[in-house]
Amino acid sequence: MSVGAGSGPLLEVRDLTVHHGQLEALHGVSLSLPAGAVHAMIGANGAGKSTLLRTIAGLHKPTSGSILLDGTDVTGLRPERRVTAGIVLVPEGRRLFPTLTVQENLLVGSDSARPGPWTIDGVYDLFGWMADRRSQRAAQLSGGEQQAVAIGRALVANPRVLLLDELSLGLAPVVVRRIYDLLPRLLGSGVTVLLVEQDVSQALHVASRIHCLLEGRTTLEGAPAELTAEQIEGAYFGLRNGGNGAPGGGSGSGSGSTPGAAAVGPTDGAGSTGAGA
List residues near another protein by CB under 8 A: 57-59, 78-80, 83-84, 88-89, 91, 95-100, 104-105, 107-109, 111-113, 153-154, 157, 273-276
Q: How far apart are CA 243 and CA 33, in angstroms?
A: 22
Which of these, 60, 65, 39, lies nearest to 212 by C-alpha position? 39
Which of these, 172, 188, 175, 122, lies nearest to 152 by C-alpha position? 122
C-beta of 74 vs 154, nearer to another protein = 154
C-beta of 44 vs 163, nearer to another protein = 163
**Rounded least distance, CB 212 to another protein, Å:** 25
Is residue 31 within 8 Å of 83, Cβ to Cβ? no
C-beta of 99 vs 201, nearer to another protein = 99
C-beta of 167 vs 210, nearer to another protein = 167
Q: How far apart are CA 25 and CA 27, in angstroms?
A: 7
157 membership: H or E segment, kind and range: none
CA distances from 61 to 71, 76, 78, 170, 243 (A): 19, 8, 9, 29, 30
Is residue 219 within 8 Å of 242, Cβ to Cβ? no
**Rounded least distance, CB 236 to another protein, Å:** 27
Q: Which residues pair with 253 in a beta bridge?
A: 218
C-beta of 4 vs 274, nearer to another protein = 274
> Between β-strands 209-214 and 38-43, what pairing exists: parallel, antiparallel or unpaired?
parallel
**Rounded least distance, CB 277 to another protein, Å:** 9
**Rounded least distance, CB 113 to another protein, Å:** 8
Q: How far apart are CA 245 and CA 221, in angstroms?
A: 9
**Rounded least distance, CB 109 to another protein, Å:** 5
**Rounded least distance, CB 250 to another protein, Å:** 28
Q: How far apart are CA 277 and CA 77, in angstroms?
A: 8
**Rounded least distance, CB 246 to another protein, Å:** 31
C-beta of 107 vs 131, nearer to another protein = 107
CA distances from 186 to 71, 190, 252 (A): 23, 7, 29
C-beta of 102 vs 232, nearer to another protein = 102
